[in-house]
Structure 1
Amino acid sequence: MTEGDLEIYLSDLLKERKYLVVVDDVWQKEAWESLKRAFPDSKNGSRVIITTRKEDVAERADNRGFAHKLRFLSQEESWDLFRRKLLDVRAMVPKMESPAKDMVEKCRGLPLAIVVLSRLLSHKKGLNEWQKVKDHLWKNIKEDKSIEIYNILSLSYNDLSAALKQCFLYFGIFPEDQVFEADNII
């Protein structure tokens, strides 16, 4: 099936229906322009939501649409999210709260980093193990804020077993956003 055939098929399928479609992580204006033709506007309340990190893509998506720019979480919201995602918040003794708050602050309000951190710490038992994670966060951190977030996210990778690290890295040979056969993975 060609792209054109797929566009016609999808448009025909959605024409008489009310739908909500989420198109995640659009990086180029042209990509959205080619996709949006497949979504008919039947004036029935159907919606397409696109997510993007590019402001120009969001602004060009639809001149009648609404571009919502996400904000970073406040310190209070960050701490609340951390505690909610911690698998056993009761295991956090009062002495662990201070290093935990320091680490949450390093996430700079980025929800993904906070969730990764809380899940990682959920598998660490005791103040000493939490302190090791905290020390690792600050090691080799430069002034660049993105490096700090990268270090936090890399913790979840570094905490994987050797076998899972190999599986994760193996996926790097496949092009992003492309379909591949399960046999190729196996």
Structure 2
Amino acid sequence: MTDDLKLHIKQLFSLWTRHSEMSSAAEVRDNKRMIIESSIGLMNYFRNVMVGYESTKEVQDLLTNLEIMLYIHGWIPSGELHLNKILVKCEQLCDIRYNSNVQEEAVAGFDAESEILLDQLTQTTTKKLQINTIAGMAGLGKTTLARKLFNDLLIEYMFDIRAWTCVSQVYHKKDLLLGILSSFINDLTDEIHKMSDEQLGEKLYKLFKGRKYLVVLDDIWDCKAWNDIRIYFPDDQTGSRVLFTSRDIDMSLHVKAARPAHVLRLRTQGESWDIFMKKVFRTGICPSHLEEHGKVITRKCEGLPLAIVIAAGLLKNNWSVEWWTHIAEGLSSFMVGDPSQYMDSLALSYNYLPPHLRPCFLYLGAFPEDYEIPVTKLIWLWIAQGFIDQTGCRILEDVAEDILMDLIKRSLVMTPTMRTDGQVKTCRVHDILHDFCRRKAKEENFLPNSYR
């Protein structure tokens, strides 16, 4: 979607809004002339972009209806309802024209973080191979931000080779090597597929040797995957970089030549609204009668881009106030009602937990949603439920505290308040993770009495 359309619509709506405020006949005449010019400009825009689509009856009817609204009624501004009807027609045309195109990714609020990471990746003062990490809980946009950096024009210019591969939870060394090679070898031959791990690694090493490369290892779970392939990444002091995305904020502590992890934050209300607008509206403009409900929905998503995108998917192409009110009132139930959209992603975090952490994590779902759990109370409850095992001569409270810190480091638990000494005072889980805990507990028949 180009900015031209948004500009056309905003200009026209501004002129209509101002029309009722005009006092002199000359002002009214001049404003009406500008309304006509702006209406013609908007209509011409759609005639141009719909070339090749105008043969269908649906498009013909939409263009005709838009023209009637703009030329017959539009030159005599008739209120907010009329503007919203025009906006709906514009959205319907855009959906037809751009239906096959991927909509802009939800990267609102990433500008400052992009600049920091871009500077780290491209700085010329550090020539040695360096490892950078983007960390945070599932759904924060780690992969989205990494992709934005990977495709940046400066990155393309600065690096001789760029490669991207996803590291699955249960990975195979050969798949990692083939994934990296496929980034810059368009057609991997049968001969390459038949190579051993060592042969593939040697081929990769030779391709990297003496060149400046950037490799993204997306969704890496622990440093073992990196250690398995580290020897194939030569450090020729060319300024090469490796970028991890991970849910483990401590990943960088266990990797040689790694910078401290860049931990993503939840989005602000303003950023959340920007993400929501990009995902729901092709024009980038929300009809006034839906704005209040939309902002309630984005607030309930609590700054998690994944939640915002899921909610946007429920609302796109259904612009009735009743539906938006329905979603705003029962957002969590709708999201849990269609778990396929995000449960797989959250399940990975859960499945990767060591067995002794799983009951402690699931137990968090027994607390009310949005409840800030006092850490001392939580530890006592964990111990009372028998989740904490004796470790050597350590007291159970200390073992339980270590478990809580492990869950925090894995980005599964948030810490709303801290004590003056830096210790965690209260903790909570994001609503989506809370829903996940309850669903998983039901599947596993985990402490049904607690969940009632």
Q: Report deviation, 1:135.
A: 3.4
Q: Does 1:19 align with 2:213?
A: yes
In the superposition, the TM-score normalised over structure 2's length comes to 0.31
CA distance in 2, matches of 1:130, 1:45: 50
For each residue in 1:104-148, what CA deviation from the matched residue of structure 2 results, as whole angstroms up to 9, or x when unmatched?
112211122223322432222221222232334143985274453
Structure 1's 111 and 147: CA in aligned 2 closer, same or farther, altered over 3 A? Answer: closer
Match of 2:199 in 1: 5
Q: Does 1:65 align with 2:349?
A: no
SS in 1 for 2:250: helix
SS in 2 for 1:143: coil
State which structure, 1 or 2, has the greater radius of gyration over its C-alpha atoms. Answer: 2
Match of 2:232 in 1: 38
Structure 1's 149 and 80: CA in aligned 2 closer, same or farther, altered over 3 A? Answer: farther
What is the aligned length? Answer: 152
Q: For the Cα contact (< 8 Å) 1:106–1:148, is it kept in 2?
A: no
For each residue in 1:32-85, what CA deviation from the matched residue of structure 2 results, as whole angstroms up to 9, or x when unmatched?
211222221111111110110112223223344242111111111111221233
Q: For the Cα contact (< 8 Å) 1:107–1:114, is it kept in 2?
A: yes
SS in 2 for 1:36: helix
Q: Report deviation, 1:95.
A: 3.2
Give unmatched runs, 5+ long, in structure 1: 153-186
Letter of the 2:225 counterpart: A
CA distance in 1, matches of 2:261, 2:432: 28
Q: Does 1:148 align with 2:374?
A: no
Q: For the Cα contact (< 8 Å) 1:113–1:149, is it kept in 2?
A: no
Match of 1:139 in 2: 333
Q: For the Cα contact (< 8 Å) 1:52–1:58, is it kept in 2?
A: no
Match of 2:274 in 1: 80
In the superposition, the TM-score normalised over structure 1's length comes to 0.68
Q: Does 1:109 align with 2:393?
A: no
SS in 2 for 1:44: coil
Which of 275, 288, 293 is the matching residue for 1:94? 288
Letter of the 1:148 counterpart: I
Q: Report deviation, 1:6.
A: 1.8
Structure 1's 90 and 76: CA in aligned 2 closer, same or farther, altered over 3 A? Answer: closer
Q: For the Cα contact (< 8 Å) 1:104–1:114, is it kept in 2?
A: yes
What is the RMSD computed on CA atoms of the aligned residues? 2.8
CA distance in 1, matches of 2:330, 2:197: 47
Q: For the Cα contact (< 8 Å) 1:88–1:122, is it kept in 2?
A: no
**Identity of matched residues, %:** 36
For each residue in 1:146-185, what CA deviation from the matched residue of structure 2 results, as whole angstroms up to 9, or x when unmatched?
4536869xxxxxxxxxxxxxxxxxxxxxxxxxxxxxxxxx
Structure 1's 31 and 139: CA in aligned 2 closer, same or farther, altered over 3 A? Answer: same
